[in-house]
Chains A and B, each alone.
Chain A
Amino acid sequence: MDTPAIIVTVAGLALAGFVLWYFFFSARQTASAVSTSGGVQEVAITVKGGYSPDVIEVERGKPVQLSFYRDEENSCSEELLMPDFSIRRDLPAFKTTLVELLPKEVGTFTFTCGMGMLRGSLVVK
């Protein structure tokens, strides 16, 4: 192995390691729901290449209202899926779409885009 090969190998392995860490193990942006006077837990989520925040904490047994604002036209994010709550919604671009649900059980429930690439989770406590 010559010097360039060694450099490429080391850099490549480091890059691969970074990719794995960055996408799978790094910390996520978490937000807790804010309860209104009516007892509804509200969270605003921006959809742009992902969900921010992408970890949402809510309390069990209280109605939840998620407002998804889709801040892009990219077709990847046009659908929202919350299979545990039987929800499939089209998110129109540059519009807010309200999703209402009632978390009855404690647990972590994933929500994704139509193809399962973009992910977020609803943590019910």
Chain B
Amino acid sequence: MEPATKTETLDIEGMTCASCASAVEKSLSRTPGVQRAMVNFATEKATVDYLPTQASPATLKEAVINAGYGVMERAPDTSAAERSAEIDRQKAVAYQKLKRRFGVAVGLAVIIMPLSMLMLWPAMMARINMQWLNYALLLLTLPVLGYSGREFYESAWNGFKHRAANMDTLIAVGTGAAFLYSLAATVVPGFFTSRGLMPEVYYDTTATIIALILLGKVLELRAKTQTSAAMRSLIGLQAKTARVVRPDGAEVDVPIEQVQLGDLVVVRPGEKVATDGLITEGSSALDEAMLTGESLPVQKQAGDPVFGATLNKTGSFRFRVTKVGADTMLSQIVKLVEDAQGSRAPIQRLADKVSAIFVPTVVVIAILTFVLWFDLAPAGTRLPLALVNFVAVLIIACPCALGLATPTAIMVSTGKGAEHGVLIRNAEALEKAYQVNTVLLDKTGTITRGEPAVTDFWTLPDQEHNRLLQVVAAVERQSEHPLAEAVVRHAEAQGAASLTATGFRAVEGKGAAATVSGQAVLIGNRRLLADESVNLPPTLIAQAEQLLSQAKTVLYIAVAGQAVGLLGVADTVRDTSATAIKKLQALGIEVVMMTGDNAETAAQVAGQVGITRFFAEVLPADKAGKVKELQAEGRIVAMVGDGINDAPALAQADIGLAIGSGTDVAMEAAGITLMRSDLNGVVTAIELSRQTIRTIKQNLFFAFVYNTLGIPVAAGLLYPFFGILLSPMLAAGAMALSSVSVLTNSLRLRSFDNH
């Protein structure tokens, strides 16, 4: 058996001309074990096939250096899948460590707590040496600080060196103060008693705070991994191998990284399509739900594009690879979602400003709390009261809830959107979609399919309907005109048997002619029949005029020099349009249509889908103007369209939604891209944006209210009026739950379903 070769790509430095490239290539080729080396001067990359038994990346690098050039060290493999796998592994390790730290803290806290409470039991106290008990508690608390809580102190110190303060700063200062006070009371109790103070210790407080905060962290980490679940499953869709057809006809499974442009790939039923390409032979139904959200399989045949990660259902086919790696549809979706998750929502601005100054401000409030309690409380209890409230303020404050409020919701919802075939460009687009009160639809390709279909087939009474359809289809099958394709599709849908046409002839701008079963057949516009001196009977003319008045294109049919029938062809309304528009209206959104058609046709289509307001006879250049017109009425406008003509209108609108199979230009201009070619995606986008922004508002409200109420209460503001003081342990519990509550609320978006 021949040993497997490996492929390595090197970034070459220092090549100034094409001859440098050939020098590098030569040097690489002479290296033992190298089977093939190719150096591209323009991209400064070398692609080397080598036997791993004889060569290695190190020997390859040596060869390049020997030739007088350098190899640029690349960042450790940055493919999304590998990066996320490495991060997942690290996170899993961190989670296990955190759980251990939490376990130790809890285990010790449950011993420390009851021991501390012995003091409340006078009969017991009389028999126990106070000093010994305190030393025992100190020993039990040390591991809680040194092992379980160590990270807090390290992080706080590292932050302090950078003049940065974070949540750990608060915990470290709070528990540190309680511990140091207790330590002093344990080691030098005389110092306290001589000043009339009880040498009280707060080991239970210290240990419990750390245990509770760690509990919060454990829950938080668990919830956080779920926020990016959709993203991970998207990355996981990537196929690992492809069955490539070699020039000799052999089919070989190769790792996906080695598939190259132009390769021929075989896909059998039930297999995943490896990458993007064009079908060269065979046909099948493909499940594209993972990319477009469309649940029905899509029928594809030779010439149709297929996309990596979609699932082949029924037939087998071969396709020519047109895109690999980062250029594939899947990679672009992943990139888009990744970008969206990194964007900032305008709604977050205030929270960002507050987070920036949060921790130092809380530290200052805690110091002032200490001073005020010390100055105002009775001399005998002032120090412990000042300390307890100082700690409570530091512990209850939760910047995390504020920081997590918006990004977690955005992460869940952008991932959820991608699952439904709704790609959100950034958080701002989501926020704009939430504000929308008017949706402007471009008729063609949005409400309608954007391609002609036969709507009417009319024949003179003496004609045999089905037979004529067969004849017509036989001629049109040989034509490449879009109208002819519509006729063939119609005939096939009707189950018309296929006949053969001979002597096919296309008449430029008029139609086509051929012979079927010995009879001359003409199909085309009126001019074609006039040129061939075919007379039109009055009933046929009347019928044609009726079709024309409905803005349909009319095809005239003549057999053996006699006009015998008509075909009406028009762009048809998508099945889903009317229900989707009704759903939008139910959301309180006014739906407006615009089209280049005349007012009569526009009114007809609008009536068909339940739209009351429309703009007719809009020239492509005026589309953006119509958006402006609506905006001038004070509306927040979402523009839905496809194609290049819509790009300015999509950009002008408050939020542009580019509908499926849209061109790249439209996607650039659009805040939201709908992978599925129907209006249901618009409903999904708007419902998702509303739920997301609602969730964010709840989160922000909770985080602000929690902190603005919690901090004063912890400072003891209620004490003068109601005698209520917040125990630092309760504060720790509240703090642990607050960030988890925000996360859990964001995770509720995962159950989003627009049906």
Interchain CB contact under 8 A, A8 and B342: no
CB contacts (< 8 Å) of A28 on chain B: these are: 163
Instruction: Indicate which residue in B91, B151, B364 contacts A74 across the interface (CB closer than 8 Å).
Output: B151
Given A98-B78, A118-B159: A23 touches B165 (CB 8 Å cut-off): yes
Say if the beta carbon of B476 comes within 8 Å of chain A: no
> Within the complex, what minimum Cβ distance (angstroms) separates A53 from chain B?
10
> Within the complex, what minimum Cβ distance (angstroms) separates B14 from chain A?
9
For the complex, give the distance between the alpha carbons of A49 and B275 in Å.
42
Interface-lining segment among B365-373, B542-550, B685-693 = B365-373
Say if the beta carbon of A115 comes within 8 Å of chain B: yes
Interface-lining segment among B400-408, B554-562, B613-621, B644-652 = B400-408
Interchain CB contact under 8 A, B403 and A75: no
Instruction: Indicate which residue in A54, A73, A78, A92 contacts B86 across the interface (CB closer than 8 Å).
Output: A92
Contact mask A75-101 → B, CB, 8 Å, 1/0?
Answer: 110100111111111101101111000
Contact mask B349-364 → A, CB, 8 Å, 1/0?
Answer: 0011001111110011
Apart from A75-B217, A82-B342, A117-B359, what 9 extra A-B contacts exist at CB < 8 Å?
Answer: A8-B374, A8-B386, A12-B374, A16-B367, A54-B164, A89-B342, A92-B86, A115-B403, A118-B162
Which residues 319-378 of B sit at the A interface, judged by CB distance below 8 A?
Answer: 338-344, 351-352, 355-360, 363-364, 367-368, 370-371, 374-375
Q: B interface, by DSSP: helix, strand, loop or mixed?
A: helix
CB contacts (< 8 Å) of A89 on chain B: these are: 342
Contact mask A1-23 → B, CB, 8 Å, 1/0?
Answer: 11011001100110110011011
Q: Which of B352, B368, B371, B404 has the most CB of A within 10 A?
A: B371
CB contacts (< 8 Å) of A67 on chain B: these are: 75
Say if the beta carbon of B87 comes within 8 Å of chain A: yes
Residue pairs across A and B with Cβ atoms less than 8 A apart, 24 shown, are A1-B375, A12-B370, A19-B360, A22-B163, A23-B359, A51-B162, A54-B164, A72-B154, A72-B155, A74-B155, A76-B155, A82-B342, A83-B342, A83-B344, A87-B342, A90-B84, A92-B87, A96-B75, A98-B75, A115-B404, A116-B352, A116-B356, A117-B164, A118-B166
> Within the complex, what minimum Cβ distance (angstroms) separates B116 from chain A?
27
Interchain CB contact under 8 A, A86 and B166: no
Say if the beta carbon of B76 comes within 8 Å of chain A: yes
Residue in chain A with minimal CB distance to B220: A75
CB contacts (< 8 Å) of A22 on chain B: these are: 163, 360
Given A13-B371, A20-B360, A90-B87: A76 touches B168 (CB 8 Å cut-off): yes
Instruction: Indicate which residue in B94, B164, B407 contacts A119 across the interface (CB closer than 8 Å).
Output: B164
Contact mask A95-125 → B, CB, 8 Å, 1/0?
Answer: 1111000000000000001111111000000
B contact residues, range: 35 or more
Residue in chain A with minimal CB distance to B368: A16
CB contacts (< 8 Å) of A74 on chain B: these are: 151, 154-155, 158, 168
Say if the beta carbon of B161 comes within 8 Å of chain A: yes
> Within the complex, what minimum Cβ distance (angstroms) separates B225 from chain A?
11
Interchain CB contact under 8 A, A16 and B342: no
Which residues 76-95 of B sit at the A interface, judged by CB distance below 8 A?
Answer: 76, 78, 83-84, 86-87, 90-91, 94
For the complex, give the distance between the alpha carbons of A88 and B415 in Å.
14
Residue in chain B with minimal CB distance to A100: B75
Say if the beta carbon of B524 comes within 8 Å of chain A: no
> Within the complex, what minimum Cβ distance (angstroms) separates A9 from chain B?
5
Which residues 150-205 of B sit at the A interface, judged by CB distance below 8 A?
Answer: 151, 154-168
Say if the beta carbon of B379 comes within 8 Å of chain A: yes
Q: A interface, by DSSP: helix, strand, loop or mixed?
A: mixed
Residue in chain A with minimal CB distance to B354: A116
Interchain CB contact under 8 A, A49 and B158: yes
CB contacts (< 8 Å) of B164 on chain A: these are: 23, 49-50, 54, 117-119
For the complex, give the distance between the alpha carbons of A97 and B156 in Å.
23
Compute the total of residue contacts between A and B using a CB distance below 8 Å: 154
User: Shortest 6 CB-CB distances between A and B: which pairs?
Assistant: A49-B158, A50-B162, A115-B403, A88-B342, A83-B344, A117-B166
Instruction: Indicate which residue in B97, B371, B399 contacts A12 across the interface (CB closer than 8 Å).
Output: B371
Interchain CB contact under 8 A, A49 and B368: no
Say if the beta carbon of A60 comes within 8 Å of chain B: no
Interchain CB contact under 8 A, B163 and A50: yes
Interchain CB contact under 8 A, B375 and A86: no
Interchain CB contact under 8 A, B338 and A88: yes
Say if the beta carbon of B595 comes within 8 Å of chain A: no
Contact mask B651-685 → A, CB, 8 Å, 1/0?
Answer: 00000000000000000000000000000000000
CB contacts (< 8 Å) of A76 on chain B: these are: 155, 159, 166-168
Residue in chain B with minimal CB distance to A91: B87
Say if the beta carbon of B208 comes within 8 Å of chain A: no
CB contacts (< 8 Å) of B717 on chain A: these are: none
Interchain CB contact under 8 A, B364 and A19: yes
Interchain CB contact under 8 A, A86 and B360: no
Say if the beta carbon of B426 comes within 8 Å of chain A: yes
Q: Which of A22, A75, A89 has the most CB of B within 10 A?
A: A75
Say if the beta carbon of B55 comes within 8 Å of chain A: no
Say if the beta carbon of B285 comes within 8 Å of chain A: no
For the complex, give the distance between the alpha carbons of A82 and B342 in Å.
7
> Within the complex, what minimum Cβ distance (angstroms) separates A69 from chain B?
12
For the complex, give the distance between the alpha carbons of A75 and B144 in Å.
19
Interchain CB contact under 8 A, A117 and B161: no
Say if the beta carbon of B221 comes within 8 Å of chain A: yes
For the complex, give the distance between the alpha carbons of A24 and B343 in Å.
26
CB contacts (< 8 Å) of A113 on chain B: these are: 166
Interchain CB contact under 8 A, B167 and A9: no
Instruction: Indicate which residue in A12, A73, A75, A114 contacts B368 across the interface (CB closer than 8 Å).
Output: A12
Say if the beta carbon of A52 comes within 8 Å of chain B: yes
CB contacts (< 8 Å) of B151 on chain A: these are: 73-74
Given A12-B368, A86-B339, A88-B342: A116 touches B403 (CB 8 Å cut-off): yes
Interchain CB contact under 8 A, B360 and A23: yes
> Within the complex, what minimum Cβ distance (angstroms) separates B400 from chain A?
6
> Within the complex, what minimum Cβ distance (angstroms) separates A103 from chain B?
16
Interchain CB contact under 8 A, A9 and B360: no
Residue in chain B with minimal CB distance to A90: B87
CB contacts (< 8 Å) of B167 on chain A: these are: 76, 115, 117
Given A8-B375, A74-B155: A24 touches B360 (CB 8 Å cut-off): yes
Interchain CB contact under 8 A, A50 and B159: yes
